[in-house]
Structure 1
Amino acid sequence: MMANEALRRLRNERRWTQAQAAERICAQVRVDTGRDPELDANWFSRLERGAITWPSGDYRAALCAVFQVHNEAALGLHPKGVTPQSEASSTPDTSAAPTDNAGSIAADAELSARLARHAAATNVNALVLEQLESDVQRLARDFVCRPLALLVPEIRTLRTAVFRLVEGRQHPHQTRHLYVVAGWLSGLAAHVSLDLGHQASATTHARTVVQCAEIAEHPRLRAWARSFQSLASYWTGDYRRAADHARAGYEDGRGPGSGTLTARLLSLEARALAAGGDSRSALRSLALAHEARAIADLDELPGVFTFPEAKQWTYTGTTLLAIGGDEQVQRAITASTRAVELYQTGPEDDRSPGDLHAAHLDLATAYLANGQVDVASAELDTVLVATQYTASITIRLRKLDTLIASGPYRDSRPLVDRREHIHEVTSRPTITSTSTEPR
């Protein structure tokens, strides 16, 4: 029994363990055949020891794809009874041989044929890419209203499958397509992390989205990534960076493309500018955001990747409240009320609990500014009946608690009771089973 040094060398060059190599072979077989083989480190060890010299056809094809070689001989594989030649003995000595033009031409033709076969090999096809796109669309739509606990494992599983496909071999346009899919899935993972309050993880996922967008040369994905980076920076209180990220998204020469993404970026910029104290620029960006909404086309993806009109009115209310003053507070009440109406009358699958919470909390804040304590308490009650909140809604609740504590109505009995309730709900773990987008 002769050890398979060629296969061992290929594995060591990639710094894979035998278990990791076996796992990649299993993944490739699943992609190629739909079967779920049970190959492990022991199986791969038998290959390297020479105990198995000619595995089944599906496994040989998967080995060639994973190690990116042209044929089984390059893997040191051979049928039983056939002795593999060493590299030295398999390479003829042509130093003294006469030139054979016909043989040379035939050899050149074989090289071209080999290149053609290599170029044609791919681990994906149009149906696989179509299914991946369909899965991303479904998850993006479900993210708005389905329990997060049901979505997280599915997002992770699909991302893992796509990353493994990227590690294989495919045509350049298929590779770009896979990177776009990987980017959108990383965007979903980023939203999950931000919902749960894991800022560092969300930032890492967002950088991956940017990288995927750059590799795929996909302007809309890149602009969306900037919008998410703006969102994440806003909720850490870095309003300058939040505005810069949003501005980078729509000022990029390659642009955010059609759809509602421009309105989203401008709304994010307006909200950040208002929070940072630049009221004039905030109002200008807010107006531009509504102009962009008026000419927006359909979005490429649904659900969490869109910017519904109701959400835009929620952002508008938050921006106007941050600017402050009697006139802007009244405008904020109008905007937040409009957001609530649109969410309540829209399709049930499009109703985001987090967006509704945000709009009601803005209304509570605005009514407190007007001295309408009873109305503010009623708006707050609408939110406090929930059992769990996203990290961003928890931040909003704590800010409102601070506002109540510093205001002239801090000793109002209704508000004292509600502050106790706020303290209780904000001490709970961040959302674990209800999915909403960070606000």
Structure 2
Amino acid sequence: ATGANGALVEQWRREDQARQEAAAVHRTRAAALAMSRDLTALADLDITELQEGVTATAVDYLASPPGPMMDRAHTLRGEAFERLRSGHHRPQDRSDLYVTAGRLSGVLSYALLDMGDSDEALEHATAAGRCAEFAGDAELAAWVAGTKSLIARFQGDYGRALEYVRDGYQWVGAGHGTGEARLRCGEAQCLANLGDSRAANAALDAAEDAREGIRRPDSLGGLFGFSQAKQSYYAGSSLIWLQGGHDAERAAREAVAAIDAWQTGPADERSLDDERLAHIYLATARVQLDDVEGAADAIGPVLSLPLEDQISWIVKRADRLAGMLSAPRYAGNRTAVETVEAINALAA
């Protein structure tokens, strides 16, 4: 009757499929959140066959979209949770099950944060913290403190983020893993956002000292490790919040170092989302140094990303860059205008 040749039906089909997919994601999120609340309230919690799944998930997360990782972590944690609740485990496995459930809660926390829901992310992180407490695992507890600080920074509450970091220092031991270096870098991000250049740079220097003092590696890598590339990434993402000058110069150097390290280093340590964000931080530092052409070159790889790879952090940080390039001083700069248009198209 309309002469649409099936176009209307096809449009309905696509939208109906999108609705079904959104409903499936909502069901998984709701079920995962309910389990996090149960784990948080559980006063008693423990497995070896699950640990391989946790290890693979921690590594795979660095190069995978958050949605599939959320599904996998929820499924694995369900098995760990059932064994803990039913008591179907050996007594000596109890602590390992706590750690397993805690790490999978940590994966869910990161996934929900990458999907833009910081409130649900915090509940999963709280569950991870309770598991660390029941297991007596200081390494996981320090990681949770750093993750809670990350969530608070995402929410823009840098005072609370700083409290989480400083509370986490009680869990780090001399030379035991990368926990202290991660917390020091988190502290630098807080201090930079609070406008304290000297303290932020001092915290980054302290993170370098902590890395040099490592005598025992992390018990698990991937999402739960903190590589040199990640440390450089944190340094770059901290100092771009200051007033430019020497801070912007260091931020640019650190962002370049992070990108180079990820592109040339071991594949299982490459964090694609963070590598993409490092391009945005490099572009931001270059704008602060009045290098618009260099900024456009730096963000180029991000602007062609497919929708499923555009995590919330990318849109959030690229939007700030667009605001900087929209300043009146760049009104006649064609490169600045075109880059802003491309960022706006990415967000749309």
Identify the TM-score tier after normalising by the shorter chain: 0.7 to 0.9
Farther-moved stretch of structure 1 (274-283 vs 221-230): 274-283
Q: What's 1:299 paired with?
A: 218
Q: What's 1:275 paired with?
A: 193
Q: What's 1:141 paired with?
A: 59
Deviation of 1:391 (Å): 0.9
Counterparts in 2 of 1:393-404, with a 5 A limit? 393-404=314-325
Q: What's 2:21 paired with?
A: none
Amino acid at match of 1:258: H
Counterparts in 2 of 1:237-256, with a 5 A limit? 237-250=156-169, 252=170, 255=173
1:335 aligns with 2:254: yes
Counterparts in 2 of 1:21-420, with a 5 A limit? 129-169=47-87, 170=89, 172-250=91-169, 252=170, 255=173, 258-296=176-214, 297-387=216-306, 388-406=309-327, 408-420=329-341
Amino acid at match of 1:416: V
Amino acid at match of 2:336: L
Deviation of 1:223 (Å): 1.0
Q: What's 2:7 paired with?
A: none
Provide the rounded CA distance (Å) in 2 between the counterparts of 1:320 and 1:148: 27
Equivalent pair of 1:193/1:202 in contact (CA under 8 Å): yes
Equivalent pair of 1:193/1:199 in contact (CA under 8 Å): yes
Could you tell me which runs of 5 or more consecutive residues in structure 2 were left unpaired when the two chains were aligned: 1-45
2:241 match: secondary structure: helix
Q: What's 2:22 paired with?
A: none
Deviation of 1:256 (Å): 8.7
Deviation of 1:177 (Å): 2.0
Provide the rounded CA distance (Å) in 1 between the counterparts of 2:132 and 2:341: 46
Could you say which structure has the larger radius of gyration?
A: 1
1:144 match: secondary structure: helix
Equivalent pair of 2:197/2:247 in contact (CA under 8 Å): no
1:324 match: secondary structure: coil
TM-score where L is the length of structure 1? 0.65
Equivalent pair of 1:401/1:422 in contact (CA under 8 Å): yes
Deviation of 1:299 (Å): 1.0
Deviation of 1:393 (Å): 1.4
2:326 match: secondary structure: helix
RMSD of aligned Cα (Å): 1.8
Equivalent pair of 2:48/2:96 in contact (CA under 8 Å): no
Equivalent pair of 1:223/1:255 in contact (CA under 8 Å): no
Deviations 1:267-295 (A, max 9, x none): 01111111111222212211110111112
The runs of at least 4 consecutive aligned structure 1 residues that moved more than 4 Å come to 253-257
Q: What's 2:15 paired with?
A: none
Equivalent pair of 1:224/1:256 in contact (CA under 8 Å): no
Change (3 A) 1:343 1:415: same
Amino acid at match of 1:372: D
Equivalent pair of 1:358/1:393 in contact (CA under 8 Å): yes
Deviation of 1:258 (Å): 1.1
Provide the rounded CA distance (Å) in 2 between the counterparts of 1:254 and 1:328: 28
Q: What's 1:436 paired with?
A: none
Deviations 1:23-74 (A, max 9, x none): xxxxxxxxxxxxxxxxxxxxxxxxxxxxxxxxxxxxxxxxxxxxxxxxxxxx
Provide the rounded CA distance (Å) in 2 between the counterparts of 1:254 and 1:363: 31
Q: How many residues align?
A: 299
Amino acid at match of 1:284: A
Amino acid at match of 2:145: R
TM-score where L is the length of structure 2? 0.81
Provide the rounded CA distance (Å) in 1 between the counterparts of 2:177 and 2:256: 25
Deviation of 1:362 (Å): 1.6
Q: What's 1:25 paired with?
A: none
2:122 match: secondary structure: helix
